[in-house]
Structure formats: C-alpha cells, structure tokens
Amino acid sequence: MTTTEPQVAARTASARAMWAILALVLLADALDMIDSTVTNIAAPTIVADLGGGEGLIKWLGTAYMLAMGVLLVVGGRLGDKFGQRRLFLVGMTGFTLASAVAGLSPDPALLVAARAAQGAFGALMLPQGMAIMTRTFSRDMLSKAFGFFGPLLGVATVGGPVLAGFIIDADLFGLTWRPIFLVNVILGVIGLAVAVRILPHDQGDRSTVVDGWGSGLLAGTMFGLLYGLIEGSTNGWGPLAVGAVVAGVVFFVGFAYRQRTAPDPLIKPSLLRNRGFTSGMLVGLVVFAALTGLVYVLSLFMQTGLDASAREASLALLPLTLGIIASAFAAMGGLVAKLGRTLIFLGLAAVLLGAAWVFALVVASGTDVGLWSLTPALFVIGLGMGCCFSAIFDVALGDIDPDEAGSASGSLSAVQQLAAGIGSAAVTSIFFQTASGGMDHAMRVTLLVVVALIAIAVPVVTLMPRKAPQETHH
C-alpha cells in the first residue's frame, strides 16, 4: 500500500495539472473567439460614440481577424523556435495590453490599431496552448480535451455578441461599449498569473526556420484584398481600391510560388497536393466567411432595420446560439466519427433552410418583421452552423499523414480566421451597398448571396474525405 501511494499521488497531481492547463487554454481560446465576434453587436454603438461610419463598422472585426489569420501559422513556428511557454506569456500579455488600449481608445484609428494588435498577439498565444497539450497530455486526456473545442467555438461565435449586448445595455460606470474590451484586462491578468504558475518550461528549438518571405507575402495578400474590398465598397472603386485588390492578387501569386520553392514553407507542399485537404480548406473558407458575415449582418439588420437595442438584438440571437450548442454537443458525442462528410451536408442543408426561412419572413413583412418571429429560423441556422463548425476541419484531416497533422491543423485554423475576416468585410459591404433600397432589401440581397456561397460549397464537399481520422490531430 505504501509503495503505491506516491505513484497514485503523482498520477493525481498530473491529472490536476492537465485539467488546469486545459482550463487555461480554453480561457485563451474563449478570449479570442469572443473578441472576434463581440463587435457584431457593439459596432453601431461604437460608431455613434466615436464616428468613423461604415468603414469603422467593417474594420472593427476585420482588423482583428486579418492580423490573427496572417500571423497564426507564424505564431506556431515561433513557439517551436523560442518555446511555447514563452510565446504564450508574450501573447497573453500583449493581448491584455491591447485590450486596455481598445477599451480606452478616443478615436476610430487607435481603436482599429488596437484591434489589430489584439489579433496579432492572439496569434502568438493560441497555437502554443494546442502545442503544449499535444506535448504534455496523455492520449486519453488529449481526446477529452479536443471534445471541448467544438462546443466552445459554437457558443463563443454568438456568445460574444450576446455578452456585448448585455454589457452595453448595462452602461457600466457610464462607459457604454468600453467594458466589452476592458473585461479582457481582468481575465488576461488572471490568465497570466495562472500561466506563470502551471505551464511547463520548454526551451524551444532554435534551428526551427520561420519563412519570413512567405509570411510577408501572405500578409500582403490579405491586406490588399481586404483593404481594396472595404475601400471600394465604402468610397467607390477608384484607383486606390482597384490597385489594392490587384496588389493582393500579385502577392498571392508570389505566396503560392514561395510555397512551392521555399526550403521550409509555411504550408507543406504535400498538403496542397492532397485533394481532400485542399477541398476542406476551400469549403471552410467559403462556409466560415458566409456564416460569419451572416451573423454580423443579422445583428446589424436587427439594430438598424428593426430598431432593436443592443440587448434586444443579442437576445434575439440566442436561438442561433442554442442551435449551435445543441448540434455541436451532438457532434461531440460521436456524430462526426459516424457520419463524416455526411454531417457537413446536413449542416449546410440546415443553414440553407434557415436562411430561406429568414428570407421569406423578410419578404413577407419587411422591416415590420418581429424579432421573435425569426426564432425558429435562427435556431435552424444555428443547428447547421454547429454541424459545420464541428465537422469541416475534422473531416479535412481524414487523408493526411500523421507527420503533417501539425502543419495541417495550423493552416486550417489560419483559414478559419481569414475566412472570418473576409466574411465580415465582404458580406457587410454587400449589405451596406444595397441599403439604399431599404434595410429589408439589403437583408434580402445579403441572404441570397450567402445562400449562393453555401450552394457553391456543397459540391466541393464531395471531394473531401468520407471520414474524419480515427484520432483527431487538431
């Protein structure tokens, strides 16, 4: 008995440490997911306070997601090079400070810069948590840990706007929208204190190569495309907007060439030759862009078209959140393993049905449509979103080799962030461009565009692997 007690105690302590690390990683991911969506509800209130018009509404989310998506793969490589613990601490510290600047910003320019800084430091922080878990967790614990991420993603996608609505309505200390960023300071300080105490030390591998040229070309690609899109839709398609889009395309060609010729590319060439993986990236890019933009526009339509307050709009989005939670937990229970890409088809079908339902309601009632009459349709959309969030990237990893898993999962995470940035910019641009015909007209046109994008993605799903890998590599 006495000889086994130390071993049992060691295993218990190890289990406690793993659960503590998991809680810390989930906190970091929740901060990212909430901050990527929190401005969906808050944008009109922020613009009313600071000015900035449509351009600020578009850049509030896009600046964050652009910086996050461009630097996410690089952040993972930097963690390999300098140590995951060190990069996690740097990322969370920077994220916390940038959140303070965002919450105290006196003008639109500083706020957008702070949002970009949040995304950049978040890109340094997030990959380290997954790498630390992969390196230190037992296989059984790793499997349990991965099960939490799908539901968390679903809840946070709409949970951010819901939280923002309640905070703005409460008008804490007369600060209106500012606490939605300042609350991160409290959570960040707590996270830092925990991280310093529990994260395992590692030295990194200084021989790891970070492809600076590839990173720069990717950054140029996304900035050119997104800046051109926002500038063109806001101020007209003049030389600056067209030139930015052309520059983005040129940078993309350079990035693609760099990935083929670089000795240590950001994305392994073998992954790009894998039909199932590239199909999954394309489906993820289109679907996440469409759905992120749709949620953003729904919140804008409720506030600007239906004259709902931030709190009323956030409550009206709750059915969508509940739908995501329900389907994400069902998928977590084994549906992804059983159904594979069939679950993606079911999710996309539910999104199409829900979007068509909202379209019919807006056609019938225009801006007189009641918020709660949208409830069933939003719940169906949420069910579809939860299936897609849980299944698309898991299934995309179905045909890759185990030694490619790290690069593949990092690339897919980057695609998800980039898609969110593109979606929030592109879909809101369509909404504002067509608003001259009335908010109901803008909502109808936006829904048709989203339905068209989802419909385009459906046949591409048939090129994805039939099943997710037996052991998810995330």
Per-residue pLDDT of the chain (474 residues; tens, 9 = 90+): 444 444 444 444 477 888 888 889 888 888 887 887 788 778 888 998 998 887 888 788 878 877 887 787 788 778 888 888 999 999 999 999 999 999 999 999 999 999 999 999 998 998 888 778 777 777 667 666 666 765 666 666 666 777 777 888 888 888 889 999 999 999 999 999 999 998 988 887 777 777 888 888 888 888 888 788 777 766 778 898 899 989 999 998 998 888 888 887 777 777 778 888 889 889 988 998 898 889 888 988 998 889 888 788 888 888 988 888 888 777 766 777 788 889 999 999 999 999 999 999 999 999 899 888 999 999 999 999 988 877 887 788 777 776 666 566 667 766 776 777 677 777 888 888 888 889 999 999 999 999 999 999 999 999 988 887 654 444
What does the pLDDT read at residue 99? 95
Read off the pLDDT of residues 3-57 as tens digits, 9 standing for 90 and up.
Answer: 444 444 444 447 788 888 888 988 888 888 788 778 877 888 899 899 888 788 8
What does the pLDDT read at residue 9? 40
> Which DSSP helix (H) or strand (E) runs through 104?
helix 84-104
What does the pLDDT read at residue 376? 95
Q: For residue 426, report the phi and psi dihedrals to the nearest 5 degrees.
A: -70, -50
- Report the predicted TM-score, pTM, of the whole model to 2 decimal places: 0.75
Place of tokens 């992804």: 336
What does the pLDDT read at residue 86? 92
Instruction: Give which of 119, 85, 89, 78 is closest to 102, Cα–Cα.
Output: 119
Q: Do residues 197 and 17 make contact, with C-beta atoms less than 8 angstroms apart?
A: no
What does the pLDDT read at residue 473? 42
Q: Determine the residue type at 325.
A: I
- The CA distances from residue 443 to 367, 382, 426, 470, in Å, are 10, 18, 14, 41
CA angle (444, 448, 452) in 5-degree steps: 170
Cα distance between residue 205 and residue 227, in whole Å: 36
CATH of domain 274-474: 1.20.1250.20
What does the pLDDT read at residue 3? 45
Q: Give the number of other CB atoms < 10 A from CB of residue 415.
A: 24
- The CA distances from residue 113 to 31, 57, 119, 328, 388, in Å, are 18, 14, 10, 34, 32
Cα distance between residue 304 and residue 103, in whole Å: 24
Q: What's the half-sphere exposure (Cβ side, CA atoms, 13 Å) at 146?
A: 21
State the first-to-last Cα distance of the chain, in angstroms, to the nearest integer: 40
Q: For residue 209, report the phi and psi dihedrals to the nearest 5 degrees.
A: -100, 130
Cα distance between residue 41 and residue 103, in whole Å: 16
Cα distance between residue 156 and residue 295, in whole Å: 12
The CATH class for the domain spanning 1-208 reads mainly alpha
What torsion do the CA atoms of 347, 351, 356, 357 make, to the nearest 10 degrees? 100
Instruction: Give which of 115, 119, 83 is closest to 102, Cα–Cα.
Output: 115
Read off the pLDDT of residues 341-360 as tens digits, 9 standing for 90 and up.
Answer: 899 999 999 999 999 999 99
Place of tokens 């909404």: 431
Q: Do residues 120 and 67 make contact, with C-beta atoms less than 8 angstroms apart?
A: yes
Cα distance between residue 88 and residue 104, in whole Å: 24
Q: Give the number of other CB atoms < 10 A from CB of residue 23.
A: 14
Here the tokens at position 18 are: 């793993």
